[in-house]
Amino acid sequence: MRWEKITITLSLLVFFSFTIAQQKETSPREKIAELEKKVMTLEKQVGLLEKRIIELERKLSELEKRLPPATTVKPTPAPKVTPTEKPSFYIGNARTKKFHRPECEWAQKIAPYNRVTIKSREEAIKQGYEPCKVCRP
């Protein structure tokens, strides 16, 4: 943060020195004095900005203290079903339009926002889902 302020200050100093160098009526000592005044003004402004940043950071930390703690949602794993049994439901992927047995490794990898529970194989096919080629529901 401070390097950015220093870079800005130096950039302005170069700009002012170039501007002053273009003026031919002033002597080098006058130019230096004028530059020093401008640098002092810039340093005051940087100091004011630093105070404002500190004040805003303090307000931000106060606001963060008021926020409730972040909660994470853990997806619930599907119940274990042996492959010989007909499952009571299937898991579909809303993006790929594939449906799986609950124990299928690919069903476990579906993102929670794409996961869809489907009651029967017939319903899945009616909704346009294709059966998984791994678990073959």
Going across the sheet that includes 90-93, the strands are: 115-118, 90-93, 98-100, 130-131
What pTM, to 2 d.p., does this model score? 0.40
Q: Which of 66, 93, 122 is the last residue of a domain?
A: 66
Per-residue pLDDT reduced to its tens digit, 47-98: 888 888 889 899 888 888 887 776 666 666 655 545 556 778 899 999 999 9
Residue 129 has pLDDT above 70, yes or no: yes
Q: Give the model's pLDDT for residue 115.
A: 92
What is the distance between the alpha carbons of residues 124 and 137, in angstroms, rounded to a whole number? 10
Range of the structural domain that residue 115 is part of: 73-137
Are 97 and 117 in the same domain?
yes
Domains identified in the chain, total number: 2
Q: Give the model's pLDDT for residue 8.
A: 67
